[in-house]
Chain A
Amino acid sequence: MLVVGVGNRDRGDDGAGLVAASRLGAAAGVPVALLDAAGDGTVLLDAWRGADTVIVLDAMRSGAAAGTVRRLDAGPEHRPAEVAAHLGAGALGVSTHGLGVAEAVALSDALGRLPRRLIILGIEGACFDAGADLSPEVARAVDGAVRLGLEEVADVPRPAR
């Protein structure tokens, strides 16, 4: 089980996924990988290598109302190529470099190493300005994303310690 936060803390609401992932990891007691301005999407493949269940939190820009949280199931049984195409259509397809989250999902699928369960929680951002704080509605949406994340964690049988 792994929680992955994607984004850039220095670009306003783009940091929402990082904030939400840190809080979800702490609340659920599961390992967290934070990909803060970590470059291209291939680092995601490295991050979730060997993980069975992965929850990815990322900011999105889909045209929905700021603070909207969307849940996408991108596991192997969910036609990841279509999920990726859906993501790439604007919501999470925004990346400075060639490969974003959508391409990372599709590439991972093509290579036959998608996590058995892959949930993507997208938080609609409003302001991606350099140096900006999280917008109030996005800061509130982080709470909602963490709650959704905790439900996902609760669905997964925990290994015996």
Chain B
Amino acid sequence: MPVKRRTIKVDALARVEGEGALYVRTAGKRVTDVRLRIYEPPRFFEAFLRGRAYTETPDITARICGICPVAYQMSACRAMEDACGVQVDGQIRALRRLLYCGEWIESHALHIYMLHAPDFLGYASIVEMARDHQKIVERGLALKRTGNELMRLIGGREVHPINVRVGGFYRAPSRAELDGMVDRLRQARDDAVETVRWVAGFDFPDFEQPYEFVALRRSGEYPIDDGRIVSSGGLDVAAAEYADHFVEEQVPHSNALHSRLRDGFNFNVAGESAGRRSAGGTYLVGPLARYNLNFDALSAPATSAARDAGLGPVCRNPFRSIVVRAVELVYACDEALRLIGQYEAPPRPFVDVPARRATGHGCTEAPRGILYHRYAIDENGVIVSARIVPPTSQNQAQIEADLRDVVQQSLALPDDRLTLRCEQAVRNYDPCISCATHFLRLHIDRG
């Protein structure tokens, strides 16, 4: 008897940033092929950074993404400051973190409300959802607007901020200007708590994965702009050691490189033996990874929102990432309020960063996960080489692994429902394909 074959194809994935497609092939009760194909054209940013001045990186790399430009600016600045041997801290660092909170609020609100929630409520898009849930959608838009306003206040404008420079900012806001955001951020924090309650009530597929989570970690704070790169498998390294532990490889079906943890590395934290290493070195970055590795560092309102939503310190169900993202929304609003509360305008909005011949590394937590930059510059500060590893390329292999298991578990579903489930599984990652080409059509081939 011939084996029944199915092909599921989504030629242009909706509700993701950028352009990509999905192809799944099954034979009988077995998934034989899963490919997340990113066909958005390559961007060549690393090549055209060569020959530019080290001071230009925040403005050039911000253009990689309209949703997470601050992440690019922060990783770029930190890498250049690392190269030049300069540490930026105090109120300038606090302002960076505050700007970054604006981006987390804006990006998380967009993904939770506009892109991901329609999957759980059975709508094709936010437009159909808005007809039945006006107040909820208005709440999402208000949250997003507050994030945008915070970005405009600190960054000069909400997309591709213009106020960021290597060493700090061109202008620091006054205490009074930041005080003007407090009432809106308090409302946003309340709205974020409501968001956690709302999404916690969705139906989630019973699906868990043995992920290796990778995120930043720094004692005493939830990771945004700084920290060591740690994993649930025991990795604990500085940003400068990134290339020793992660490898990027080209795959024929995607314009985005796939990242993997190098095999054979034996971590040893506090004398403990190496953790489990997932097959093929796949790993996961983003809200789920940050949450699992830094639960203890969440603020009290974020922790209590998580507890009320039934989340413990460990969550391995990627479909619940929408709840975790909402918890991070609470955190970002709360952290912004804390930073504003302790703010004193710095006497000078930046520190000097004189160029020297060196290589620098920067890694910060974009809304979608860790974003690594490395630059080599010469004695005049001219960029000799650049390397940028965005979160979505790091998640690509894991997205494919999730898809394989989701399809395997859901083979009884008819093609249309299986396709929707696959798209939802991809959107769990809030993939930013524009960044990763570095998004989505789905093909399920059942023969």
Chain A interfacial positions (CB closer than 8 Å to B): 37-40, 42-43, 45-46, 81, 84, 96-99, 103, 106-107, 110-112
Contacts and interface: CB of A to CB of B under 8 A. Distances in A.
Contact of A38 (B18, B134, B141, B158): B158
Given A37-B160, A43-B148, A99-B114, A110 B127 contact: yes
18 contacts: A37-B160, A39-B67, A42-B114, A42-B144, A43-B148, A46-B145, A97-B17, A97-B66, A97-B67, A98-B14, A98-B15, A98-B17, A98-B115, A110-B127, A110-B128, A110-B130, A111-B130, A112-B134
Interface string B62-74: 0000110000000
A37 B131 CA distance: 28
Given A38-B159, A43-B148, A111-B138, A98 B434 contact: no
B66 A103 contact: no
Contacts of A99: 114, 126
Contacts of B148: 43, 46
Interface residues on chain B, size class? 20 to 34
A98 B16 contact: yes
Contacts of B114: 40, 42, 98-99
A40 B158 CA distance: 11
Nearest to B128: A110
Given A42-B110, A46-B145, A103 B127 contact: yes
B130 A37 contact: no
Interface string B312-336: 0000000000000000000000000
Given A39-B158, A42-B110, A43-B148, 8 more contacts: A39-B66, A40-B66, A40-B67, A43-B158, A84-B127, A110-B127, A111-B134, A112-B134
A97 B137 CA distance: 18
B125 interface: yes
Contacts of A81: 127
A110 to B, nearest CB: 4
A84 B125 CA distance: 13
Nearest to A130: B63
A45 B141 contact: yes
Given A38-B159, A97-B67, A103 B110 contact: no
Given A42-B114, A98-B15, A99-B114, A111 B67 contact: no
B63 to A, nearest CB: 8
A96 B66 contact: yes
Nearest to A99: B114
A7 to B, nearest CB: 13
Going nearest first, the 6 A-B pairs with the smallest beta carbon separation are A110-B130, A106-B127, A39-B159, A110-B131, A39-B66, A107-B127
A42 B127 CA distance: 11
A37 B126 contact: no
A96 B110 CA distance: 14
A161 B144 CA distance: 35
A111 B126 CA distance: 11
